[in-house]
Amino acid sequence: MSDLNANENEREANQSASDVLRAAAHQLIDDLVQNPAGRQQRFFPSSFREDKAMEFATLVQGTMTVHQYAARFTELSRFATYLIPDEEKKARKFEQGLNEKLYVRVVGFQIRNFSELVNKATIFERTLQRSVALHEQRKRTTPTGYQSGMDQGPWKRRSEGSSSGKRPVPSNQQPYQCRTCNQ
């Protein structure tokens, strides 16, 4: 019987410890969800938070895609909420960090919603990528005689120079003769 009492006491102690841990976990989760600033203070040292805020303040797209830039922007923005207190400031900050080719295309729309701005910038980025790809494809399919202008094909003599002072003549034509003086 003493073994039964010992097992019962052990089970009650485990249940009690489990209840305490469960309550503490619920309290921690509630604190983290309801107070994100407290979460940052609890898990990130102030020097780390300041470094991330500075990185956010100077963040630009650079060689990142719009999606990569948006992800990094969102990740760092939580350390500098004082720089983007509302949706409009958030969109403006993102817009100012875009590459010049994208910035000039979206700035005129005056988009003040972050998600919409990311969407439009992504569309313009795809359009630019297609344009570059099409340009590259055209360069590859253009005949070589037309690429470099006058230094190839029938006008090759022009680039070789002429000391006689006569006009350059395409290689497949007869020289021009004046009807008056026959020169």
Q: What is the pLDDT of residues 111-121, one digit of tens each?
A: 999 999 999 99
Over 90: is that where the pLDDT of 60 sits?
Answer: yes
Query: What's residue 134's pLDDT?
Result: 94
> What gap in Å lies between CA 123 and CA 102, rounded to an integer?
10
| Whole-number Cα distances in Å, 170 to 104, 151, 160, 167 | 46, 12, 13, 10
Residues 6+ apart with CB under 8 A from 122: 66, 67
Q: Which amino acid is at 149?
A: G
Over 80: is that where the pLDDT of 92 sits?
Answer: yes
Neighbours of 107 (CB within 10 A): 13
Neighbours of 52 (CB within 10 A): 18
Residue 158's nearest CA partner among 142, 147, 174, 169 is: 169
